[in-house]
Every structure is written in C-alpha cells, then in structure tokens.
Structure 1
Amino acid sequence: MINVALLSKWHVHADDYAHQAKQNENITIKVVWDEIAERGNEWAQKLRVPFEKDLVKVLEDPEIDAVIIDAPTNLHKEIIILAAKHKKHIFTEKVLAITYGDCENIFSVIKENGVKLMVSLPRLTENYYLYAQDVLDKGLLGKLTSIRCRLSHNGAVPYEGHPNGWLPKHFFNKEVCGGGALIDLGAHPIYLTNRLAGSAKAVTARLQKTLGYDVDDNAVVIVEYESGVLGTLETGFLSNGSPFQLELYGTEGTLLIEDQNIRLKSKKLGEGWKVPEQLPEPLAMPLNQWVSDILENTKPTLDENDFLTLTLINQAASLSNEQGRRIEIAQLTTASVEV
C-alpha cells in the first residue's frame, strides 16, 4: 500500500487525480497540504483526511510514501526537490518545470535519492496515439514529413458572471503559471508530436494575448525536428467546439484523427480511405503506471525524455515569441550545461 499526500489543489485537474488515487486499490490518501490554507482545509474535509499547513511536516512524516503535486507551476521545482530529498515518490501535473535547467536540477535530485517520478501526460496512453505510432512503425505513411496537432477549448471566453471564462483566474497569472494556453493545454500537442517526430531542432512561435490577459490565450508553434518533420502545434483558450485533431502526413500516406474519427490513406493499402476496424488497447494511465513502478519496478511507458522535451519546446516557444525569431534548441541545452 502507498500512503499519499496531496500537495495543493491549485490545478484544475487536482480533483481528477484525487479520484484516480481513490480508485486505485494500492493508494491511500493520508493528508492534504495547500499553499492556501483555506482551500486545502476545505478539500481535506471533502476527502475526510487531515489538513496540514506545514509542508515540511508532511514530508517528514515517515508514514507518507509519495506525493501527488498540483501546485502552481512556479513552485514545482521547489516542492519536487524537497519531496525527493525526503525520499518521497512524486506524481505531478504537467509541466515538470518552467525551464530546461530546472528540469535537469530536478532529475539530478530524483536520481540521487532513488525515487520514482511521473508527470501526467495522459494522451501518450490513448488508443489513437498508439494507433498513430503503429501506423508509423509499419511504414504505412512512408517518410513522415509533417504533423499538425490542435487542442483548444473556450476556457478563457467571458460569459455572464465569469469575466475570465470557466478557467480559474490564477491560470492567467504569468509569474505563477509560467505561461498561458501553450504551457497548459498546449502541452498535449507538444508531447504527442515530440514522441511521433523525434528530437527537436528549432522552434518558431507566436503566442497571442487576444483578450488582453497577461498570458497567451491563442498560440501556434512550428517545430523543426532533426528527422526533417515539420510540426505545427495549435492551442488556445478561445475556441468553442474545436475538435482535437492529430494529422500525420508522409510520402506514402496520410493519417487523420479528429476526436474519435480516424481514417488512413496509404499507397500500401490500396485506393481510398481506410477506417481501422479496431484500435489498440489503451495503456494504463500515468498515475497507475507510477504506482506499478513504485510497487513492482515496472518500467513506465512515459519517461524522462517526454518530460524534459515538453519543457524544452515551451521554453523555446516563449523565447521565440518574445524575441521574434527562430530559436535553435541547442541554444537552450548548451546554455544549461554552461551554467
């Protein structure tokens, strides 16, 4: 059995992870901590567990084996490193940290203390991603040349009584979040495309503040990959009814995924579009993979490279937007080594 502390209810998915934890027979939620005591106390009462306002006390408790972190993004590095130094296994909402250098510091402490780290990148466990990967691996698209991935919602569109839309107001605080639509919702197109296309070479991005927030609410990122693939990533908080789209284009075929509608055209399969009769079975969700890793040392399908490159593309996109130019990935990784 894994005794878990929930660290903060800041992120909108905190309740989801608490629910997943309660559904997992190998997890017991023992305590809640929150940087805002009132919010944490209310959550703890709802979950019928104690609230502890002192984070160090939580981490010093020998009964606590692991933590689930939904704290503000700018607190991730501090909290994760502190938890690792107290030998607690760590599950955290994306992104791992705001900069590549911070991620490297985190990985160093994680390895030094021998704890298990998992970042929630759930779409890498979904059947459509597994199908796309299988299509690529079988060569049905020939040489992959382009990927377009879009995920947007209307979370920042104002409506009566909600001037910031249905997202919490703190999601528009750049200092706390590290960014806006791209760093949060755009994480999914980034990590999916990274996994399918390989190592990134350069990034060009435009992060719009359409409604005048402190952070981007509409973004497009072009990623050049070492493989020659061009990735076009789109995200935003201003789209009503926008479907999830993942499109792969190659010299021998095309794969189009729009929500649950999937079709494939490949020279190797004859004329016309093919609809898959059956999709692969989804993998275990990241939280459940993390539990299996802790208890059975089962290697997760999500790894350090997925976590690191997500932050890398975000940081490069932010710089590209600020400086109005194309950013070479090597600029960020080399600068980190020099520091």
Structure 2
Amino acid sequence: MTTPLRIAVLSAWHVHAEEYGRAAVDHPDTELVAVWDDDAERGRELAARLGVEATTDLDALLAREDLDGVTVTAATSDHLEVIGKAVAAGKHVFTEKLLAPTVAECDKLIDAARDAGVRLTVSLPRLTHGYTLALREILDAGTLGRLTYSRVRLAHDGSTRDWLPARFYDASEALGGAFSDLGAHPVYLTQLILGDEFTSVRPTYTDQTGRGVEDNASVTVATPDGAIGVVETGFVTPASPFSIEVHGTEGSVLYGFETDDAGGAVMRLTTGAGSSRVDLPADQPILFAQWADSIRAGVALEDTLPRARSLTALVDAANAAAQR
C-alpha cells in the first residue's frame, strides 16, 4: 500500500461521484489520482473539477501498482463488471448502492472480494448518523416491546424541478427509478428496524412526470411476526422532511416530525412512562473514512455487506412485483 492511499473514481455516472472524489481529497490518509469514465467528456469534466487526470482506459488504470483503491459510481447495471475488474486487480472498493442488480451478483462480488483480500464497502450513509445510532439503542433494549409498525420516508423534487440527470430515468442503467435509487435509504433503515425477512412485499409505483420509470413510490412489507413496514420515496416532493416512526406494544419512536430551536430534527420516545426527547449521539465518521481506515487496519466493515445484500433483495423483489 502507498502512503497516503491512492484512490481513483470509477465513473461520473452517479450524482455522488464528486462527493466521494472530494472525500478522497479531504481525507488525511488518501490521495485522489484519477477519474475513469467510458464517457470521455463526462469523465474529463469531473476530473477537472477534482484537479486530477482523466482516462477512458479502465484496464490500464487498474493495472497501476501505485493505485490502492477505487470509488465506484458507475451505472448500477455496470457494477458487476466494473467492481469485478477492480477486485480482480486487487484494488479495494468503496461503491455507491446498489451493490449489484441481483442477489446472486452481490454474492459473486462479495465472495470475490473476500477471496482477493480486498475491502469492499457499500455506501449506506444513514447507518452512521446519530438518529440511527439512537434508534438502534432503543431497539436493542427492547423498549418498544413487540414491534407492530414502521414507516420511513425520504423524498425530494429531482423530477419536478428537473435537477437529476436524464440517465437516472434509464431503467436499463439505473434498474428502475426512485425506489432503486433514493428508496434504498429507507429500505435499509426499515430492514434495520424490522429485520430482513418479509412474508409479503407490495409496491405502489407511479410515474408522474412521464419519464418511463417510477418517480413516486411506496412499498409495504410484512414480517413473519405480523409487523408492517412502509417505505416511501420519490422524486416529486418539494418539502417532505426525512422521517422515521416505529411503533411497538410498549412504545413509539418518532423522528423528523418536530424540530428544535436551531431547526434540527428531534427524536421523541413515548412509552407508558410518558413522552421524552431522545438525546442523539454524534454521527460516526463517514463510511468513506471508515473504509480507508479499514484498509490500513486490514479489517472488514462487517455491517455494510450483509445490509447491501438484503437491500438488493428487497429492491429486486419490489421491482419484480411492480411489473406483475
């Protein structure tokens, strides 16, 4: 390994490509060295903003002995090939969700990374936020009793205000619309709350802006224990706060339904003892930083890969059910 770790961005396809590139620039133990894209103009534009070289030759870039790792922000449909090549070249991988189009392809990449001894991490950023850490503590303590219902909502106005790239509506590249992309966050949070096993997955998708994929989505799931989970997302909502609600036989947790004096979202716990505001811990380091640290330490980030696999399974099931 080099000092600092030398990182390349693989594709400017995703809107988070520059964010992860800047994370490599800003981290004290990483250095951004290149941007690859099969679209030369798109790659040059991102490389210029990040102040590094651009290339369209992926094989040559991955063959560089002074390259330690890559961030993958290619089209989801290309993840198996692009991540597969990076892993085969011995490069550590930090990738945008979804990990791969299918669970079988996720397993193929996870197994290949393990066999190659490289660190494969999927960006599931809300797992590191203080509200998630507080919620996990409440759930682990059993404070809510037997869980009965959860609802997680995350939506924005990328379609109605037309700020998302047109490629985000290409179902062959993005594997769908709002649910496959933005919906991934409420999906993995719902799975954190209710677990990964569901007896039913019932999607409702609509296309309000006529782009051919869902830009407004709600998916209802049920667990073997009878709990119901609702996952809501969309690209057509101008002013919807990110929110979480979890209910059980002994209490409820609400987040995002009220704000404090500084405008920050509040988490509130209600039980038979009354209602109280939950103090939120500080966010953990961003997952990119945890990935970089894990490379140096030679240890895997155990939580992201099982959750990424389960995420793909539920998104795939919802998309398949929506086509019936």
Range of TM-score over shorter length? over 0.9
Amino acid at match of 2:155: S
Segment drifting more, 54-63 vs 217-226: 217-226
1:330 maps to none
2:244 maps to 246
Question: For this pair of structures, how many residues does the alignment match?
Answer: 313
2:59 maps to 56
1:334 maps to none
Matches within 5 A, 1:142-291: 142-158=145-161, 165-201=162-198, 202-258=200-256, 260-267=265-272, 270-271=273-274, 273-276=275-278, 278-291=279-292
2:111 maps to 108
Amino acid at match of 2:101: I
1:25 maps to 28
- Residue pair 2:150, 2:230 contacting (<8 A) in 1 also: yes
Deviations 1:32-79 (A, max 9, x none): 111110111122223222212100000111111100111111111100
Deviations 1:62-116 (A, max 9, x none): 1111001111111111000011000000001111111112111111211221110
2:260 maps to none
The 1:107–1:227 alpha-carbon spacing in structure 2 relative to 1, beyond 3 Å, is farther
- Residue pair 2:18, 2:50 contacting (<8 A) in 1 also: no
- Residue pair 1:153, 1:242 contacting (<8 A) in 2 also: yes
TM-score, length-scaled by structure 2? 0.93
Amino acid at match of 1:188: H
1:161 maps to none
Corresponding residue SS for 1:149: strand
**Distance in 2 of aligned mates of 1:52 and 1:194:** 38
**Distance in 1 of aligned mates of 2:98 and 2:6:** 24
Amino acid at match of 2:277: V
- Residue pair 1:33, 1:40 contacting (<8 A) in 2 also: yes
- Residue pair 2:246, 2:253 contacting (<8 A) in 1 also: yes
Amino acid at match of 1:91: F
Amino acid at match of 1:320: A
Matches within 5 A, 1:73-152: 73-152=76-155
Aligned: 1:65 with 2:68: yes
2:310 maps to 309
Corresponding residue SS for 1:274: strand
Amino acid at match of 1:71: A
Segment drifting more, 200-209 vs 181-190: 200-209
Q: Percent identity?
A: 37
Corresponding residue SS for 2:180: helix
Corresponding residue SS for 1:212: coil
1:332 maps to none
- Residue pair 1:286, 1:302 contacting (<8 A) in 2 also: no
**Cα RMSD after superposing both structures:** 1.3
Corresponding residue SS for 1:183: coil
TM-score, length-scaled by structure 1? 0.89
Partner of residue 44 from structure 1, selected from 29, 47, 51: 47
**Distance in 1 of aligned mates of 2:67 and 2:209:** 43
Displacement after TM superposition at 1:298 (Å): 4.3
**Distance in 1 of aligned mates of 2:315 and 2:144:** 28
Displacement after TM superposition at 1:303 (Å): 2.6
Unaligned runs of 5+ in 1: 159-164, 324-339
Unaligned runs of 5+ in 2: 258-264
**Distance in 2 of aligned mates of 1:94 and 1:35:** 20
Segment drifting more, 248-257 vs 34-43: 34-43
